Structure 1
Amino acid sequence: MSRGKVIITGGCGYIGSHTSVELIKNKFDVVIFDDLSNSKEFIMDRIYQIAGVKPAFEKVDLSNPIEADRAYYKHSDAHSIINFAAFKAVGESVEKPILYYKNNLYTLINSIEAQKKYGIKNFIFSSSATVYGNPNRLPITESFQTKRAFSPYGNSKKIAEEILEDFSKAYPEFKTISLRYFNPIGAHESGLIGELPNGIPNNLLPYVTQCAAGVLKELQVFGNDYNTKDGTPIRDYVHVVDLAKAHVKALERLLSGNMKENYDVYNLGTGKGVTVMDIINTFEKVTKEKINYRITKRRAGDVQALFASAEKAKNNLGWEATLSLENMIETSWNWEKTFRDM
């Protein structure tokens, strides 16, 4: 029996595609909205191969209010929206800040305006640990004050959260959860879906896998003079499948009627810090592939260490990360090889 319709914006993207699979497995009817500017339509077939159901699909630019309204009107029988639609390249956002603010914020605003117009009661927002800036202590809890992010991309997430919080105060009949990701990596165990960056990757593990595959010549490690066990920065890496399952748990929380407030936030991470060299060494151990890397100077804006406390998600959502770093690396490498062999 169906548990109702859920609209996934940016559903052909990295986290959106994995979340679509998990929602289908949990008997939700999935509709994907995507403009395919940072994703590929063949991912729809891959979701079908994994989950046995092909989601409905609307090619739509949600930053365009007319297109957005038309798509939401067509699927106004949905009870929930999960919003992944956003540009996400940190470096590009520094070079093109207005592009990022226009796309990421207009997409959100047009979506919540449609939500209000058509009475779609539940909203999950794909946020980021960048909203914490450079915290004064670790691990990071949801009680930490948010700060001006280091990039327009990160700042668009902070502003979006503020918009959603204000919207929730003004319209208490609508419920929202913002999920603050730490560092998503890994891929589906099938090798059919995974991270597919346009151009040179911005994130560490896709850069590592592309170096191992011979697509890129060298990995630059930005600094080895941090106050960590090996001098390289620490991050909290979490498997994308664990993240996808967290969205199902958050949706069930929204639908349960058990939320104390109609707006809430959750960290999604493992609670464990991993250095850049840990990633390289574990990759070489798991895959038996050597990585050509070079130590360079620190990169502007990088912080020494970021890792989460995910106790709130464990206590309120019944979610915690379970997949290991080895599994994250193994599935990422499997996806890289599978994709290159297509």
Structure 2
Amino acid sequence: MDIGSNSLIEPRMCGIRTPLRCPSPVNFTANSPPEQSTSERLTSPSNYNSGSSDSTSDHSTPLTSQSDLFENNPFVNSSPSNDRFIVIVGGLGYIGSHTSLELMKAGYNIIIIDNLSNSYRSVFSRIEELARKYSETECQAMPQMRLYDADYRDESSTREILDDYVVDDTNDSPRPSTTSQKISRIDGVIHFAAFKSVQESIQEPLKYYNNNVAGLIKFCAILDSYNIKKFIFSSSATVYGSIANDGVPLKEEYCVHQSEGFVDHDGQYKTVLPGCTGLTNPYGRTKWMCEAILADLAFADPEWTILALRYFNPVGCDESGLLRENPRGIPTNLMPVVVNVVTGLSPVLDVYGTDYPTSDGSAVRDYIHVTDLARGHVAALAAAADRCCQIRFRTYNIGSGSGNSVFEIVKAMESASSTKIQLNATDRRKGDVGICVAMPTRAETELNWKAEKDIQTCCRDICNCIALTRAMEHDGPN
């Protein structure tokens, strides 16, 4: 079976987008009826129905018992409020959906803004299902979750959404959106919405600069006008460029936006100037540009607190099997391509480059379980709220600190799936580097966060997802 197919997992999706006009939220609150927002009054959207055909509550997880799914969360919101929210832009995507779930498990109310260009509406019901089960297991009230089908770059739609959460500082009543000094019930924003394919960015650079960079500038200007100034940005290890080829774990100080001094791995004190070295593709350049813009914004306005999380290579899926990497386009990252071979969608795995200066000649990456990555966002949000980093702008490596080669990943996936993966060695891809591994000490120290899951767990969870998908195919839609 093709795990990339959405014919059964997303039975209601037809590939047809609704015109934006006025964004329509989908609301769900466990213990009270959905609150009516301005957008609801204007557009009368259908509210979330937990009994829809997307419900997966009747399907048990093949390899994981429920008691194993909900371990204690160290980043629980210490002061939850029924009327405070976190905005997650791109919250139905691969990383965004897992982060949305972890935020709800930590007690945060969430607002998801997603235009469904690379995700599916049914992911919303899956997040709700897992959050509800977690809340029941922990005997706690379930936070609110809302979905807006909107493009964050569309200023009128974004402002209409944010207007719903503007309040009067004197009596907490709705406040006119024309008021110059707005007070919002939104405590922070996590920004996932960006194009992310290295190869596509080389072929279509303007597409990437327009969405990733120009979109960010417009979005931050809108947030600024609503005094929403706690911002978690999804950055990337690609900002390190060719420095990665030095073969040493990458420190945040290797790519900075203000002069910094630090002690390097060789014990020598070094001073590094703002800039970047040998960025290898337009995607990496957009991430570096965005970081630079955000750093300038934070240093210009002390009310902003901005944390940029430099992802390494997220893999795996929620151990329930209900959330997974399922892009609308053709996958280019290693693990979803490996999954296509395991499930029979593709006959062979192309290995791009077998002559890198690594132990087996294939490229080495720092693979991090997506749930660990999601927990990193919860930790960053808590740090931004507490301003514990004492810095207006700060970057963090979110990685495991260890590397695995392509061949090692293949071996681990073969073991987990009991499937032989056919390989085809081919030339290196333009824009790739040979080695890219994180030094995650800063995140461990300042965010009290650390990756916990190994590559074997990543592969096990992926196989769990495959098994669940096959079981659902056998049973048919509810």
TM-score normalized by the length of structure 2: 0.69
1:30-82 CA distance string (max 9 Å, x none): 00000000100000000011111562011111122222222222234201000
Could you tell me which amino acid in structure 2 is paired with residue 101 of structure 1? Answer: Y
Report how far residue 107 of structure 1 moved. Answer: 2.7
Pick from 11, 27, 33: which aligns with 2:107?
27
CA contact (8 A) 1:189 1:331 kept: yes
1:167-224 CA distance string (max 9 Å, x none): 1111111100000000000000000001112232110000001111011121101122
Aligned to 1:68: 158
Pick from 418, 439, 450: which aligns with 1:288?
418
CA distance in 1: counterparts of 2:214 and 2:150, whole angstroms: 13
3-state secondary structure, aligned to 2:416 = helix
Aligned to 2:392: 262
CA distance in 2: counterparts of 1:102 and 1:69, whole angstroms: 20
Aligned to 1:100: 208
CA distance in 2: counterparts of 1:165 and 1:21, whole angstroms: 28
Pick from 226, 237, 240: which aligns with 2:356?
226
Residue 179 (1) aligns with residue 309 (2): yes
CA distance in 2: counterparts of 1:91 and 1:152, whole angstroms: 9
Relative to 1, partners in 2 of residues 1:137 and 1:222: Cα closer, same or farther, differing over 3 Å? closer
Residue 272 (1) aligns with residue 272 (2): no
3-state secondary structure, aligned to 2:186 = coil
Q: State the Cα RMSD in Å.
A: 1.5
CA distance in 1: counterparts of 2:418 and 2:353, whole angstroms: 25
Could you tell me which amino acid in structure 1 is paired with residue 155 of structure 2? Answer: P
Report how far residue 328 of structure 1 moved. Answer: 0.6
CA distance in 1: counterparts of 2:118 and 2:127, whole angstroms: 17
More displaced 10-residue stretch of structure 1: 275-284 or 83-92: 83-92
3-state secondary structure, aligned to 2:234 = strand
CA distance in 2: counterparts of 1:48 and 1:190, whole angstroms: 13
Residue 249 (1) aligns with residue 345 (2): no
Residue 238 (1) aligns with residue 328 (2): no
CA contact (8 A) 1:148 1:155 kept: no
CA contact (8 A) 2:356 2:362 kept: yes
Aligned to 1:140: 250
3-state secondary structure, aligned to 2:439 = coil
CA distance in 1: counterparts of 2:85 and 2:329, whole angstroms: 34
CA contact (8 A) 1:200 1:207 kept: no
Report how far residue 293 of structure 1 moved. Answer: 1.2
Relative to 1, partners in 2 of residues 1:84 and 1:304: Cα closer, same or farther, differing over 3 Å? same
Report how far residue 337 of structure 1 moved. Answer: 4.4
CA distance in 2: counterparts of 1:334 and 1:309, whole angstroms: 30
CA distance in 2: counterparts of 1:152 and 1:68, whole angstroms: 27
CA distance in 2: counterparts of 1:158 and 1:338, whole angstroms: 39
3-state secondary structure, aligned to 1:193 = coil
CA distance in 1: counterparts of 2:191 and 2:292, whole angstroms: 15
CA contact (8 A) 1:210 1:336 kept: no
1:38-117 to structure 2, matched below 5 A, reads 38-52=118-132, 53=142, 55-75=145-165, 76-117=184-225
CA contact (8 A) 1:280 1:291 kept: yes
3-state secondary structure, aligned to 1:134 = helix
CA distance in 2: counterparts of 1:183 and 1:270, whole angstroms: 9
Relative to 1, partners in 2 of residues 1:264 and 1:228: Cα closer, same or farther, differing over 3 Å? same
Report how far residue 150 of structure 1 moved. Answer: 2.2
Could you tell me which amino acid in structure 2 is paired with residue 141 of structure 1? Answer: K
CA distance in 2: counterparts of 1:334 and 1:108, whole angstroms: 36
Could you tell me which amino acid in structure 1 is paired with residue 429 of structure 2? Answer: R
Aligned to 1:162: 292
CA contact (8 A) 1:62 1:106 kept: no
More displaced 10-residue stretch of structure 1: 232-241 or 222-231: 222-231
Aligned to 1:312: 442
Report how far residue 285 of structure 1 moved. Answer: 1.1
CA distance in 2: counterparts of 1:38 and 1:89, whole angstroms: 12
3-state secondary structure, aligned to 1:133 = helix
Aligned to 1:118: 226
CA distance in 2: counterparts of 1:178 and 1:259, whole angstroms: 12
Relative to 1, partners in 2 of residues 1:339 and 1:127: Cα closer, same or farther, differing over 3 Å? farther
Could you tell me which amino acid in structure 1 is paired with residue 192 of structure 2? Answer: F
CA contact (8 A) 2:416 2:463 kept: no
Pick from 5, 9, 15: which aligns with 2:95?
15
CA contact (8 A) 2:155 2:222 kept: no
Report how far residue 101 of structure 1 moved. Answer: 1.2
Relative to 1, partners in 2 of residues 1:26 and 1:13: Cα closer, same or farther, differing over 3 Å? same
CA distance in 1: counterparts of 2:366 and 2:212, whole angstroms: 24
CA contact (8 A) 1:100 1:156 kept: yes
Q: Which has the higher helix share?
A: 1
CA distance in 1: counterparts of 2:468 and 2:350, whole angstroms: 25
Query: Over alpha carbons, which structure has the higher Rg?
Result: 2
1:99-156 CA distance string (max 9 Å, x none): 1111112331232112211111310000000000011351100000333532222211
3-state secondary structure, aligned to 1:2 = coil
3-state secondary structure, aligned to 2:199 = helix
3-state secondary structure, aligned to 1:79 = strand
CA contact (8 A) 1:213 1:337 kept: no
CA contact (8 A) 1:18 1:241 kept: yes
3-state secondary structure, aligned to 2:435 = coil
Aligned to 2:273: none
CA contact (8 A) 2:118 2:329 kept: no
Could you tell me which amino acid in structure 1 is paired with residue 380 of structure 2? Answer: A
1:181-220 to structure 2, matched below 5 A, reads 181-220=311-350
TM-score normalized by the length of structure 1: 0.96
CA distance in 1: counterparts of 2:147 and 2:317, whole angstroms: 22
CA distance in 2: counterparts of 1:230 and 1:268, whole angstroms: 25
CA distance in 1: counterparts of 2:439 and 2:98, whole angstroms: 23
Q: How many percent of aligned residue pairs carry the same amino acid?
A: 39
CA distance in 2: counterparts of 1:204 and 1:137, whole angstroms: 20
